[in-house]
Amino acid sequence: MTHYTNTNNPIDFPKKKKIPMLERFAAQSLVEHEGELIFSKEKFAELILKECIMVCWPGGESDVLYEQASEVDKAFIDGQDYCVEKLKKHFGVE
């Protein structure tokens, strides 16, 4: 890990690492406004939220899978659904 030292402080601080996924989201969050590209905080937040939902629902919704699932798996799927619905409600997303 590369470090740099603040000459006013003897503590060694790590350099900030870039996060490729967030860089991609930032690039996708550029929108045209009055002939210029501007960064849309709303679009950036939307992309992050969609990624969070995909973490909860890696395979997406499927009623067929649910009907074939064991009781333990159904409880897990219900937990995924609950997580997604809480995220959507918290952030006001349909």
- The domain ranges of the chain are 3-91
- Residue 80: its pLDDT value, please? 87
Give the phi and the psi of residue 39 in degrees, each rounded to 5: -85, 125
| pLDDT, average across residues 70-84 | 87
With a cut of 90, say whether residue 54 has pLDDT above it.
no
- Residue 1: its pLDDT value, please? 47
The rounded radius of gyration (Å) of the Cα atoms in the chain is 20
In this structure, the number of other CB atoms found within 10 A of the CB of residue 4 comes to: 9
